[in-house]
Amino acid sequence: MDEALRRKLAAYFTAPADIPASKKFADWIESDFEKASKIRELNAPENYAEYEAFKQKVLKGAF
């Protein structure tokens, strides 16, 4: 994962819940969504632990 995408993901993860998705993803381009497609797979109740681990790695800059 490149640094620009990691920063966009960090901004997404830290945005207040009441911010509309259209604003959270305003500066994203199609390739960003393709690269971050793993989030959709992880963002399901049965994958919660893995999703949270991914989120923490992004926020800590581990990617």
pLDDT digits (tens, 9 = 90+) for 7-41: 999 998 999 999 998 999 999 999 998 888 877 77
- Residue 63 banded pLDDT, cuts 50, 70, 90: low
Whether 1 shows a pLDDT value over 90: the answer reads: no
Q: The pTM is what?
A: 0.75
Cβ-contact 6, 63 below 8 angstroms: yes
- Asked whether residue 55 carries a pLDDT value surpassing 70, the answer given is yes
Give the DSSP H or E segment for 4: helix 3-14
Per-residue pLDDT at 27: 92
